[in-house]
Structure 1
Amino acid sequence: MLLNVIFILLVVIHLFIKMAANISKNMRAVGLFKYLPISDINSLIDLEVSVPVPKESEVLIEVKAIAINPIDTKQRAPKPLIEKEPRILGFDGAGIITAVGEAVKKFKVNDQVFFTADIRRHGTNAQYVALDEIHVAQKPKNLSFEEAAAMPLTAVSAYESLIDRLCITEKDKGKSILIINSGGGVGSVACQLANLFGLKVIGTASRPESMKFSKESGAHIVLNHSENLVEQLKKNKLSEVDFILVNYDPYNYWDTLMMLIKPQGKICLIVDSSGLVDLKPLKAKSITLVSEMMYTRIVYNTEDRYRHTEILEEVSKMLENGKLKTTVTKVLAPFNAVNLREAHRLIEEKKTIGKIVISGFE
């Protein structure tokens, strides 16, 4: 009996040693020292850095796929700054948990998860990432790592915009929402969510492929945002809308937004304005103007910060039961600086639809 116990203990110890050996002290990543145009080969470079050690409430995730977002390109954009240590970007992804901190309650080793990054530290463009469990949820079982990686940042942003900021509920069934840039990552998820609430969804795009993708995502009407939106809406027998979600610089749209929003309507901005706008028209119509920043609850450690986790978990369930579908439209592989620069280039050209995902290390 004693020999059997000793044998089992030796096997367990061997497995732990083997597991530890599989996690190297160093990992590959893609990052930057200088903020350069994406055409510069040094704008994003291959790196070897230390594997992060998870703290008490953190999990260590082996990254299987990551998504590229417009915020990545904005943070990498040229500026007169040189980092002393490499900066690693990346805001969401999917992978497998390889270690957990002592205080972690929801996860265990080998759980397949998807996640948002912590904006205050290194991002997800690496083989491993350590994150507080508040950023993590179980990956939808019906999705691949690539399909799941496309969703966390955009789905949480769209969910917060419609439900937490615009306060849309089932009571709003039949009302209308205008989604500026409905072919993008957040816009395409917002189209799907708006449909679930029974809203009449009006999207905007310009290219045939982005218009098609908007309709596939649930837009009932798609306007050309390079042309007069007011006139196009009138042709569709509408003059005003109840809600507007702006997934693009609102500066050039501002006067149009003021004309299209109904009295006592609500507008949500996701992107900063590139110039000053006149707020006076809001008062005449008693318009509610709100902003959405996915990291607000995390950065400011608000009392409802665990709402972030709840939304991620809800999104996972909605993807599993088919209420939402993944918005990945392009997968690049393997994960390296060359493919990451290509993804940034495509986003900066503003000709992408849905989400670009990069998969796997060689």
Structure 2
Amino acid sequence: MKAVAFTHSKPITEFDALLDIELPVPEPRHHDLLVEVKAVSVNPVDTKIRRSGEPLGEPRVLGFDCAGIVRGIGPEVHNFAIGDEVYYAGVPDRPGANAEYHLVDDRIVGHKPRSLTFAEAAALPLTSLTAWEMLFDRFRIPRDQTVNGTLLIVGGAGGVGSMAIQLAAQLTDLTIIATASREETTDWCRKLGAHHVINHHHDMAAQIERLGLEAPEYIFLVTHERLHFKKMTELLAPEGAMGIIESAAGPVDISALMKKCGTLHTEFMFARGLLKTPTISAQHRTLEAIAHLVDNGTLKTTMTENFGTINAANLKRAHEAVEASSVRGKIVLEGF
């Protein structure tokens, strides 16, 4: 089968940073689905892994957002049948989805939204799971009752921020402030449901005060944690909750949080699949819920660019765009 892999950690500008290769089609075991890959999306985790070190012994295939068709099932699969259309994010300790066929644990897979193309669906899994788990599993924001308060999403126009805005706008009564720095990303955040958009390159506390709003009870620090962490701990409301999804580059000062009795939450979307936690099947249920919300018109895909077929040249362009932090929404590729 065709696949795209890397063999050495190199800048994406190098001609062989990603390579077109041939691999055998894998065999499903246990909870595995064998999925014929129809479309994939590119995330920052792809670029981080590509830059982080050498694969051990063999070419490493990346790709952590996928939509496709089930072509084989393992003996312990119960939620899916051959021919089902699915979407999912996978896990980083197995080969990724930048290949014609891919194995994935059925407990972290959902049925693809019927109203979306494969490309549109491939934009959703990783970011939807990350946003959902932070808002509803970590922050424990209720979805079935009125909750007064404000949610600040730092980095609203990227993949995770785009889904967090939609989920909060459609499923909660919170006032949503998103951050963006360009006219096009500001407009994007507003269209997704943000009540207010401020610029994260300027004094965010002052901008919120000018809006006539109190300090936010929830702060979702989606990006550039190193730049914003300290200021966000100072901005957070007393007894508020702050969430991060990036690994800290070094020690972080939580003294401002402690003075407010604030809570710090971490979210790593891959944890359930990697560690086979008791709640692993929650990701199947979440993706099923997301698909339902898409099909009834509550949520929409965050696909903004289609870079063409899944090959090394097009994936290099996608990696380069993600590394430049110039992406609004999600980049997808489809077909081989």
Partner residue, 1:144: 117
Q: Which has the larger radius of gyration?
A: 1
Deviation by residue 1:300-358 (Cα, 9 ceiling, x = unmatched): 22222211111111111111111111100001111100000000001111111000000
Distance 1:139 1:43, change over 3 A: same
Question: Is 1:164 the counterpart of 2:137 in the alignment?
Answer: yes
Distance 1:151 1:245, change over 3 A: same
Moved more, 219-228 or 164-173: 164-173
Deviates more, 1:54-63 or 1:155-164: 54-63
Instruction: Render the CA deviation track for 1:7-65: whole Å, top value 9, x for unaligned.
Output: xxxxxxxxxxxxxxxxxxxx000001001000001111101011111113211110000
Q: 1:113 aligns with which of 80, 86, 99?
A: 86
Assess if the C-alpha contact under 8 Å between 1:60 and 1:100 holds in 2. Answer: yes
| 1:47 paired residue among 2, 16, 21 | 21
Match of 1:125 among 86, 93, 98: 98
Alpha carbons 1:118, 1:135 under 8 Å: kept: no
- Name which of 253, 269, 274 aligns with 2:244: 269
Instruction: Please give the residue correspondences for 1:201-220 in structure 2 after superposition, counting only pairs within 5 Å.
Output: 201-220=176-195
Q: 1:249–1:274: 8 Å Cα contact kept in structure 2?
A: no
SS at match of 1:264: coil
Cα distance 1:173–1:154, how it changes in 2: closer, same or farther (>3 A)? same
Structure 2 counterpart SS, 1:227: coil
Tell me the alpha carbon deviations over residues 270-299 of structure 1, each in whole angstroms, 9 at most, x when there is no partner: 112223221111111000111000111222
Quote the residue 1:84 is aligned against. 57
Query: Are the aligned partners of 2:88 and 2:108 in contact in 1 as well (CA < 8 Å)?
Result: yes
Aligned partner of 2:310 among 326, 332, 335: 335
SS of 1:169's equivalent in the other structure is: coil
Mapped pair 1:188 → 2:162 = yes
Give the C-alpha shift of residue 127 in structure 1: 0.5
> 1:222 is matched with which residue?
197
Residues 211 and 222 in structure 1, CA contact (< 8 A), matched pair in contact too: yes
Deviant stretches of 4+, over 4 Å: none
Q: Distance in 2 between matches of 1:248 and 1:137?
A: 27
2:233–2:254 Cα contact (<8 Å) kept: no
Counterpart of 2:23, as a letter, is V
8 A Cα contact 2:109 2:283, kept in partner: no
From 124, 128, 131, give the equivalent of 1:155: 128
Match of 2:271 among 285, 292, 296: 296
Could you state the TM-score of these two structures normalised by the residue count of structure 1? 0.90
The CA distance in 2 between the partners of 1:118 and 1:302, in whole Å, is: 13
SS at match of 1:35: coil
The aligned amino acid for 1:179 is: I
Q: Distance in 1 between matches of 2:91 and 2:322?
A: 22
User: 2:199, 2:112 → 1: CA distance?
Assistant: 35
Seen in structure 2, the aligned counterparts of structure 1 residues 251 and 118 have a Cα distance that, compared at 3 Å, is: closer
Higher relative contact order (CA 8 A, sep 6+): 2
d(CA) in 2 for partners of 1:117 and 1:36? Answer: 24
Q: CA RMSD in A?
A: 1.3
Aligned-partner Cα distance in 1 for 2:107–2:55:
31
Give the stretch that moved more between structures: 121-130 or 307-316: 307-316
User: Do the aligned partners of 1:180 and 1:247 also contact (CA within 8 Å) in 2?
Assistant: yes
1:174 aligns with: 148
Aligned residue for 1:309? Answer: 284
- The amino acid of 1:173's aligned partner reads V
CA separation in 1, counterparts of 2:247 and 2:76? Answer: 37
Question: Matches of 2:55 and 2:83 in 1, distance apart?
Answer: 38
**2:10, 2:51 within 8 Å by CA — same for their partners in 1?**
yes
Paired letter, 2:176: V
Per the TM alignment, residue 78 of structure 1 is displaced from its structure 2 partner at its CA by: 5.6
Structure 2: gaps (5+ residues): none
TM-score, normalization by structure 2: 0.96
